[in-house]
Amino acid sequence: MSSLLPFIFGLVIGWLIELVIDYFYWRRRSVNTEAEQNLRASLNRAQTENNDLQTQLAGFQAQDQRLIEFETSFRAKEAELKELSSSYEEKEKALASQVADLQTKEAELKALSASYEERSGELDEAQTQITSLAAQTGDLEAKLADCESRQASSATPDAGAEAASFAVTASTPSEIEPDDLRKIWGIGPKIAKILRDNGINTFAELAATDVARLDAILLEAGSRFRISKQGTWADQARLAAEGKWEELTELQDKMDWKGSRRL
């Protein structure tokens, strides 16, 4: 019996040891296997999330690259816009300068126009005065010629000879006393002499001479005599031949003598 106790005690001890080993080894291993499975599942989920995150990161990187490209394009467009703005400002300044020059020239033109109109009025007034003085001069010369003629007549001792001389003068057309052709506007001393040299001595003869012959006479005398307004001489000479001096003066006042000269 005493020999069985150690055996039984050994069995009990062995069973207890096995129980302890079973509890602490095999059960912990089972727990560890479940934890490992859970850990692996978590790891798989983490890897899946990591892959998703990698995909999202790749998408973000692509978007970032597109943003960089867009920013580069935007900077280039901004530089072009600044260049265009600078060019526009330069053109605007040049245009403003041209407008200012045109305004200055316009003001100068207006000033010149006003000065021209003023000088034109002065010239018209001077021409009117010259016409009036010419008429007065012609009248004075006619009166002077008449006085000289009377003095010459009074100095003749033989009245019969004077009467005979007057009769001869009246009967000879070529010895008719010439008129003062300078009373016609446009005819000065030189042209009056040219006309007398060509047989035109009186107002009536001048009125009867056509413009073509007058042109030929003046052209033969020299080109500088073509500046005269011989087309108006016939009307003036007709009034002078008829003694209509007031009408002649009115006609001469109405004529435009700008640029003409008396030669």
Residue 242 forms part of a structural domain = yes
| Reported confidence tier of residue 250, pLDDT bands at 50, 70, 90 | very high
Residues of 168-191 as b/e, b for ≥16 C-beta within 10 angstroms?
eeeeeeeeeeebbbbbbbbbbeeb
Give the mean pLDDT of 211-228. Answer: 83
171 pLDDT more than 60: no
pLDDT band at 165 (very low <50, low <70, confident <90, very high): very low
Examine the pLDDT at 163 and tell me if it is beyond 50. Answer: no
User: At a CB cut-off of 8 Å and minimum separation 6, what does 202 contact?
Assistant: 176, 178, 179, 241
Count of structural domains, the chain: 1
Q: What are phi and psi of 228, to 5 degrees?
A: -70, 155
Residue 243 CB neighbours (<10 A) = 10
Decide if 247 is inside a domain: yes
The reported pLDDT for the residue numbered 85 is: 85
- Percent of the chain's residues with pLDDT above 70: 71
Strands (E), 27-91: none
| C-beta of residue 131 within 8 angstroms of C-beta of residue 185 | yes
CA distance 14 to 7: 10
Domain encompassing residue 195? 181-263
Q: Which of 192, 261, 194, 202 is nearest to 222 (CA)?
A: 194
In a domain, 11, yes or no: no
Does residue 104 form part of some domain? no
Cα 38 to Cα 35: distance, rounded to the nearest angstrom = 5
Residues 191-202 have pLDDT tens digits of 999 999 999 999
Tell me the whole-structure pTM to 2 decimals: 0.35
Asked if 169 contacts 175 with a C-beta cutoff of 8 angstroms, the reply is yes
Is residue 165 included in any domain, yes or no?
no
214 domain residue, yes or no: yes
Q: In whole angstroms, what is the distance from residue 263 CA to residue 257 CA?
A: 14
- Asked if the structure places residue 170 within a domain, the reply is no
256 within some domain? yes
Q: Which of 193, 260, 181, 196 is nearest to 228 (CA)?
A: 260
Cα–Cα distances (Å) from 169 to 21, 241, 243, in that order, read 188, 19, 22
Work out the pLDDT band at 32, boundaries 50, 70, 90. Answer: low
